[in-house]
């Protein structure tokens, strides 16, 4: 089994996404979920946008 297949198994069959767990301030999470509901943009898409902006800020993307 190659590394790509191992990664896929660890990520429940996801090939273009990686699951991870973290914790955030309660207030941030509430506002984040409200934004997702109000805009009807999936929370994963909002998180992708936030991480992209952060990586650009630090010239890592």
Render pLDDT for 27-41 as a digit per residue (tens, 0 to 9): 999 999 999 999 999
- Distance in angstroms (rounded) separating the CA atoms of residues 31 and 43: 11
Residue 17 above 70 pLDDT? Answer: yes
Domain range for 45 is 22-61
pLDDT value at 45 more than 70: yes
38 in any annotated domain: yes
Q: Let me know if residue 2 belongs to a domain.
A: no
Nearest-10 crossing angle of helices 43-57, 26-39 = 120
Instruction: Classify residue 47: in a domain, yes or no.
Output: yes
pTM (two decimals) = 0.76
Q: Would you state the pLDDT for residue 10?
A: 67
| Coil/strand/helix, residue 54 | helix
Q: Is the pLDDT of residue 11 over 80?
A: no
Find out whether 60 and 53 touch, Cβ atoms under 8 Å: no
CA distances from 31 to 6, 27, 41, 61 (A): 35, 6, 13, 26
Q: In total, how many domains does the chain have?
A: 1
| Averaged pLDDT of the chain | 89
């Amino acid at each position: 089994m190659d590394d790509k297949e191992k990664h896929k198994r660890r990520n429940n069959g996801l090939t273009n996404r990686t699951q991870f767990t973290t914790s955030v301030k309660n207030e941030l999470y509430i506002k984040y979920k409200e934004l997702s509901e109000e805009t009807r943009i999936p929370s994963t898409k909002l998180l992708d946008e936030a991480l992209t902006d952060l990586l650009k800020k630090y010239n890592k993307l």
